[in-house]
Amino acid sequence: MLKFVFFVLIAIFISVSSFAKDDSIHLQADHVSYNKKLSTYYAYGHCKIYDSNYVLKADKVSYNDNNSIAEAKGHVYLEDTFGNWVKGTYAILNYSTYRGYIEHAVMFVKGNHLYLRAKRIVFYGKNKYFVKDGAITSCDCPGFVNYKKGAHPKWTINAKNTYVVRKDYLFAYPVLMKARGIPVFFLPFVRKSLNKERRTGFLFPQIGMSSSYGFKYIQPFFINISPSQDITLYPFAYSKEGNGIKGQYRFYWTKYSKGNWDITVFKEKVPYLDSTHKKTRVNLKAIQYADFGRYGRFSYDVNIVNNRDNLRVLDMSKLETSSDRYTTSTASYYVNYNDYFLSIYSQFYQDLVAENNRATLQKMPVVKFGVINKKLYKNLTLDFSQTVSNDFRIEGARGIYTDSTGFLSYPFKLYHFSITPKIGAHELYSRWEYAPNNKKYSRRAFVPDYNISVSTALYGIFLNTNTSGFVGVKHTIKPTISYQYIPERSQRFADFVSTYSKTNKVTFDLENILTAKFVDNGKPQYRQVFYNRITAYYDFAKTYHTPYPPIYEETIIQPFDFLKLTSQAHYFFKKHVFLDSSEDLNVGNKNVGFSVGYTMSRDDNYKLTDESVSTKVYAYPLKELYVYASFERSLHYSYYPSRKFGFMYQEDCWGIGLDFYFTRSPEEQENGEYETHLDKGFWITFNLTGLFSIKRQY
C-alpha cells in the first residue's frame, strides 16, 4: 500500500529527487516510473533532469541512481548556468563526474557567440569539451544550428580536433577556413580566449604593404602583470627598411596615478644618409600623472631619442630646417592650499637640427609660488607670484633669474558695467655667465604694470508661438574694452630671461552668441547656432603705419545638427590681406557626410608661406558597407602630402576592409638637398566575429 501511494505522488507532482554523491538531482516529466531492481528512473514527455550545474532536456530520459548516469533521447538540450548550451539527438551524461557525450550535436558558447557542430561532442568534466571533426562559426545560420545537411554559414573553421575549456580557451588544430562551404585557406591551429579577463598571450597581427618599407608585419604579444598593470610587445618587420620592437608598459597604480612608458628599438637595413650614421634607432616616451589630493599633483612627459635623425621631420615652408626642432621632456609638481600655490617644473630639450646639444637651453628647474585672488578687504584682491628659474647650457649664456610679480585689483559694478582696475609691478633679477669664458653679469629691473577692463552683456530673447520644435532664440552681445600700460624700463638681461616690453595697448573684444531653443516631447533643448568673436587692439608703443593693426576673428555656425562651419583668421587692414586663416566645413549624418578645410599663413613680410586644402568624404551606401576618401593638397607647393581611401564591409559575423594610402614627404638627400618622396601602401582589416580580428592598431 505504501509503495502504491509513493508512485501516485510521483505522477501527481511530476517530479522526483534523489541524491548523488555531492548534489541533488531533480527529475521532471509528463510520466515518471521507477525500477527498484535496476535503481533507474524512466521519464517520458517533456523530460527535465537537472542539478545546480546543468539542465538536461529530452523526449525520453533514464537516470540510474547508483552510477548517476543519465541517458537522453530525442531533442536533447543541455544548458549550464551561464547560458552555454549543447543540443543533439542522443546524450549520455554522468552527473557525478560530468563526463559523457552528445551525438549530432551543436554547442553554443554564449560569451563569444560561437557555434560548434560535430557528430559527437564529448564532455571530459564540468567545464571541458572535446570535438572531433567539428565546424566552428559565429554566424547565426538556422540550418547549421539545427544540424541540417547542406547548410553552410557565411564562414566556418573546420578543425580535426577542438578543445574547449569553458571560460578559459578554445584550441583547434589543424584548421581549414571555408566561405559558404568553399575552402579558402589553411592554418596549423587557432586559439581563442573565452575568458573576459585579460590574459597573457599573442594578439592577432597587423599586416600591410608599403612602397618605402615593403611588407609590414606586426605581431603583438600581451603580458598581464596585474589588473592595474600590463605590457604589450610589438615586434615588427619591414621587408625593405628593417626590423624592430616596440614595448608599451601601462599602469594604473591607484585611481589617482596612471600612465604609460613606450620604447621603440628599430634596426634599419639602409642607414640614414651614409654608413657613419647610427643604424639602430631608439625612442623613449613616458607619461605619468599622479594626483595626491591636498598634497599636490605630479606629472612628467619624457621624449628622448638616441640620435637626432630619428624624428627628423621637415617643415615645408623652410625645407632646410626641421619643424620638430626639439624633443621636449617635462616634469612638474603643483600644490595649492586655499589661495596659495607652489609649482616646480623642469624642461629638457634635444636639438634635432644642431650637430650637438651643447648650446641648447635647459630649464632645470623652475620654482614658482604665490597667492591667487586673495581677498584683502571687500573687493580688494591680491595676486602675487615669485618665480625662480635656473637656466643651463654647456655653451652660451646660463644662470638664474627671479621674477616677483604682484597685482592689486578692485572689481566693481557701475550700472550694467563690470569694471576691473589692476595695478601691479614686476621686479626682475638675474645673475648669469657666458660659457666657456665664464664672465659673470648681474642685473635688476623694476617694471610697473597698469590694467583696466570694462565689460557688459546685452540680451535679447525672441520667441514664436510654437509649442514644439523651434520655439525661439536668445541673442547675447558681450563687449569688453581693456587697457594695459607698461612704461619703458631698461631690461638688458640674457636671452633666457622673460622681459616686459613697453606697452600702451587698447584692446576691444566683441562676442555675439545666438542660442536656439527647441522643445522635443515637452523637454527643452538648447543649441548654440552662432558664435562670433572679434578682437582688435592698438598698441601706441609700436609703429604700425596704419590706425588698424591686425584683428582676430573667430566664427562658429551650426544651424543644424548635420552642418557646422568654423573659421579663425587674423586680418591686416594695412595690406588688406589675411596673415593667417583656417576654415572648416563639416556636413553629415550617420549615413553620409563630407568635410572641407583650408589653411593659409604669411610671414612677417606678408609673403605666403603655406596654403593648403583638405577634404574627407564618407558614406554608408549599404548598411554593412563604409567607404571613405580623404586628401591633403598643398596649393603653395603643388603636391599632395596625403591621399587615403578605403572601405570596411561588416556583417553580423565577419568583416573585411582595406585602407590605401599615398603619402609624400620631403626627404634629405646625400647632397644635402631635399626631395619629396612618395610612400604608397595599404593596411588590411579582417575579422571573424567572436574568433579573431586582424587590423591596424592606431
Strands 201-202 and 523-539 come out as unpaired
User: Under DSSP, is residue 7 helix (H, G, I), strand (E, B) or coil?
Assistant: helix
Distance (Å, rounded) from C-alpha 93 to C-alpha 56?
9
Q: How confident is the model at residue 17 (pLDDT cuts 50, 70, 90)?
A: very low
pLDDT digits (tens, 9 = 90+) for 128-141: 999 999 999 999 99
Which pLDDT band, with edges at 50, 70 and 90, does 19 fall under?
A: very low
Tens of pLDDT, residues 657-680 = 999 999 887 666 655 566 777 889
pLDDT in tens, 622-644: 999 999 999 999 888 788 889 99
pLDDT mean across residues, the chain: 87
Q: Using CA atoms, how far apart are residues 674 and 667, in angstroms rounded to an integer?
A: 5
Query: Would you say 429 and 402 are in contact if contact means Cβ atoms under 8 Å apart?
Result: yes
The whole-number pLDDT of residue 169 equals: 84
Amino acid residing at 97: T
Q: Range with the lowest mean pLDDT among 9-13, 74-78, 373-377, 472-476?
A: 9-13
Grid cell listed for 310: 630619428
Among 671, 623, 612, residue whose Cα is nearest residue 651: 623
Q: Which amino acid is at 227?
A: P
State the Cα–Cα distance between residues 402 and 364, nearest whole angstrom: 14
What pLDDT is recorded for position 458? Answer: 94
> What are 562-598's pLDDT values in tens digits?
999 999 999 987 778 899 999 999 999 989 999 999 9
pTM of the predicted structure, to 2 decimals: 0.73
pLDDT for 352: 77
Q: Is 315 exposed, middle or buried (0-12, 13-18, 19+ CB in 10 A)?
A: middle
Instruction: Give the E-state strand segments of 393-496 in sequence order.
Output: 396-409, 412-414, 417-435, 439-455, 458-463, 469-486
Catalogue the E-assigned strands of 219-339: 221-226, 229-238, 242-254, 257-268, 280-291, 297-305, 314-315, 318-322, 326-337
The count of C-alpha atoms lying within 13 angstroms of the C-alpha of 87, restricted to the half-sphere facing its C-beta, is: 13
Q: Cell numbers of 155, please?
A: 564562414
Q: What is the radius of gyration, based on Cα positions, of the chain?
A: 37
Q: Using the predicted structure, report yes or no on whether residue 20 has a pLDDT greater than 60.
A: no
The mean per-residue pLDDT over the stretch 681-695 comes to 84
- 698 pLDDT above the threshold of 70: no
The tally of CA atoms less than 13 A away on the side-chain side of residue 10 is: 20
- Coil/strand/helix, residue 300: strand
DSSP structure class, residue 205: P
Q: What is the mean pLDDT of residues 94-122?
A: 91
Residue with grid cell 587615403, as numbered in its chain? 644
Domains of the chain (ranges plus CATH)? 2-193 (2.60.450.10)
Q: How confident is the model at residue 322 (pLDDT cuts 50, 70, 90)?
A: very low
- pLDDT-based confidence at residue 191 (cuts at 50, 70, 90): confident
What nine digits make up the cell of 255? 585611481
Question: For residue 3, what is the enclosing H or E element?
Answer: helix 2-13
**What are the grid coordinates assigned to 570, written together?**
587674423
pLDDT category, 275, cuts 50, 70, 90? low
